[in-house]
A = this chain, B = another copy of it.
Amino acid sequence: MKHIDVKEIVTSKKYVGSEVTVCGWVRTSRNSKSVAFVELNDGTSLKNIQIVVEKGDGDFKEPRVGMSLKVVGNVVEGRNNTVEINTVPENITVLGDCPTDYPLQKKGHSLEFLRSMPHLRSRTNTFNAVWRVRSVLAAALHRYFQNHNYVYINTPLITGSDCEGAGEMFQVTTNGYTTEFRNEEEYYANDFFGRKAGLSVSGQLEGEMAATAMGKIYTFGPSFRAENSNTPKHLAEFWHIEPEVAFAELDDVIEIAEDMLKYVIGQLLELCPDEIKFFDAHFEKGLKSRLEELISHDFGRVTYTEAIELLKNSGENFVYPVEWGCDLQTEHERYISEKVFKKAVFVTDYPKEIKSFYMKQNPDGKTVAAVDLLVPGVGEIIGGSEREADYDKLVSAMQERGMNLDLYSDYLDLRKFGSVPHGGFGLGFERLIMYTTGMANIRDVILYPRTVGSIR
């Protein structure tokens, strides 16, 4: 079906004066005596194209909302620097009818109502804009890393290691419920992989293996957490970007994170002006200037120890008390970024007890070379670190935590054969979309959200 994307017609004047074929769904229509106006949207753009139908003497049936049409007509300039298409009833073909029980009628719907129809909500302006932002950000992330000589790798989703976060891991099995086996051992020995397997919570360990060969790598794929938390910020299945870089120390990791984030948000402002304007108008007043400020200022930087002092001296009444050694809660993170720095801020050098075994141990013996990036409104958006490159130090950190070294022999090999300073970070893709659109519930930035007790 030869036709032209509505996006191509509404974003330039080049089709003015030409006859074109467009296809799309009817968003609204209104009828007058001699002319009908139909707003058609084909999904390629947030903007509709207006079809002006010269009804003539003929019998023109006003198309219903949701119907799909094919229209042949002439592109002309409309009011306010827009373009529209002039046509006659004979040049309109109905591709698919739409009954009056179509749930998306003209009026606005709550996000909650729309969540009950994931297969139709993408036909609203809001989700049209969210999915386009998501797509443009994803492409910008790929572009950033490709332009800087990173290699895109796909770390395994099904994993046999139940490293970190074992308690939060989904199992993958072809057995499921069965009474066929006498015990656990027999159950897993007869499973697809011949052993217990799960869904990966992070590609970092395999990312390190790739980075210490390819130099600079990034992953962009799903991660899974079987966390029993029903909040507007948690998903059981989310998308994750995890760059990992050889020959890099903590300062390099921080520089990359800032540079990457500024690039992709800059690209978003450039490539999705209509969408950002839409979110600014309907979801978060001031969004656009917040993003513009983010990319035009240096991010702040503070150590965990300094942050604790700032919080203790803040005079604020926090729900969770603040003491050196405690984990920062969202209220603390937001205070630091929103009240103290009023911008994005890196917090570095956390107590080793509250961070992972693989983080580089600082000379003070108390902290590790970890970094979290906190942003106003959301809190933590990136978490990373320099990794411990010293074999003996890594082994003792693992032993302190009672870990089984045998399960990590491949990982330890990286510190045995040509070990290098290296580091990386993880960016939760849905958190980035929330931050750049002002959408407040993570269920509204992924096509089919997966959360505890809910799958559709």
Task: Select from chain B the residue with minimum beta-carbon distance to A247.
Answer: B23
Q: Is A243 close to B, CB under 8 A?
A: no
Question: Which of B149, B213, B420 has a CB less than 8 Å from the CB of A5?
Answer: B149
Stretch of A116-124, A305-313, A331-339, A394-402 contacting B (4+ beta carbons < 8 Å): A116-124
Task: Select from chain B the residue with minimum beta-carbon distance to A170.
Answer: B172
In the complex, chain A residues 40-58 whose Cβ is within 8 Å of any chain B Cβ:
42-44
Contacts of A362 in B (CB 8 A): none
- Structural contact, B68 and A156, CB atoms closer than 8 A: no
Minimum CB–CB distance for A182 against chain B, Å: 10
Size band of the interface chain A makes with B: 35 or more
Contacts of A194 in B (CB 8 A): 453-455
Stretch of A74-82, A133-141, A281-289, A353-361 contacting B (4+ beta carbons < 8 Å): A133-141
Contacts of A454 in B (CB 8 A): 193-194
- Structural contact, B172 and A214, CB atoms closer than 8 A: no
Minimum CB–CB distance for A2 against chain B, Å: 8
- Structural contact, A184 and B195, CB atoms closer than 8 A: no
Q: Is A210 close to B, CB under 8 A?
A: yes
Contacts of A256 in B (CB 8 A): none
Question: Which of B3, B119, B153, B170 has a CB less than 8 Å from the CB of A247?
Answer: B3
1/0 per residue, CB under 8 A from B, across A21-48: the answer is: 0011110000000000000001110000
Stretch of A93-101, A322-330, A340-348, A369-377 contacting B (4+ beta carbons < 8 Å): A93-101
Minimum CB–CB distance for A210 against chain B, Å: 6
- Structural contact, B173 and A417, CB atoms closer than 8 A: no
- Structural contact, A156 and B450, CB atoms closer than 8 A: yes
CA distance in complex: A189, B416 (Å): 47
Stretch of A83-91, A157-165, A290-298, A434-442 contacting B (4+ beta carbons < 8 Å): A157-165
- Structural contact, B170 and A173, CB atoms closer than 8 A: yes
Q: Is A452 close to B, CB under 8 A?
A: yes
- Structural contact, B192 and A170, CB atoms closer than 8 A: yes
Minimum CB–CB distance for A123 against chain B, Å: 4
Stretch of A12-20, A219-227, A257-265 contacting B (4+ beta carbons < 8 Å): A219-227
Question: Which of B95, B134, B136 has a CB less than 8 Å from the CB of A420?
Answer: B95
Q: Is A177 close to B, CB under 8 A?
A: yes
- Structural contact, A127 and B213, CB atoms closer than 8 A: yes
CA distance in complex: A302, B214 (Å): 43
In the complex, chain A residues 173-189 whose Cβ is within 8 Å of any chain B Cβ:
173-177, 181, 183-184, 187-188
Contacts of A146 in B (CB 8 A): 135-136, 139
Minimum CB–CB distance for A183 against chain B, Å: 8
- Structural contact, A417 and B174, CB atoms closer than 8 A: no
Contacts of A187 in B (CB 8 A): 176-177
- Structural contact, B236 and A447, CB atoms closer than 8 A: no
1/0 per residue, CB under 8 A from B, across A189-225: the answer is: 0001111110100000010011111111000011010
Q: A160-B456, A216-B43, A418-B96 are in contact. Are A119 and B173 (CB under 8 A)?
A: no
Q: Is A368 close to B, CB under 8 A?
A: no
In the complex, chain A residues 407-456 whose Cβ is within 8 Å of any chain B Cβ:
410-411, 413-421, 446-448, 450, 452-456
Question: Which of B26, B193, B420, B455 has a CB less than 8 Å from the CB of A193?
Answer: B455
Q: Is A280 close to B, CB under 8 A?
A: no
Question: Which of B142, B151, B157 has a CB less than 8 Å from the CB of A237?
Answer: B157
- Structural contact, B214 and A68, CB atoms closer than 8 A: no
Task: Select from chain B the residue with minimum beta-carbon distance to A1.
Answer: B247
Contacts of A150 in B (CB 8 A): 135
Q: A139-B142, A156-B448, A192-B170 are in contact. Are A214 and B247 (CB under 8 A)?
A: no
The 7 closest A-B pairs by CB, nearest first: A43-B215, A96-B419, A122-B213, A43-B214, A156-B448, A119-B410, A23-B247
11 more A-B residue pairs beyond the given contacts A131-B151, A134-B151, A177-B181, with a C-beta to C-beta distance below 8 A = A43-B215, A44-B216, A95-B247, A95-B418, A98-B418, A119-B410, A127-B213, A134-B154, A160-B456, A172-B172, A192-B452
- Chain A: residues with CB nearer than 8 A to chain B? 1, 3, 5-8, 23-26, 42-44, 66-68, 70, 95-99, 102, 117-120, 122-123, 127-128, 131-132, 134-136, 138-139, 142-143, 146, 149-160, 170-177, 181, 183-184, 187-188, 192-197, 199, 206, 209-216, 221-222, 224, 226, 236-237, 239, 246-249, 252, 389, 410-411, 413-421, 446-448, 450, 452-456
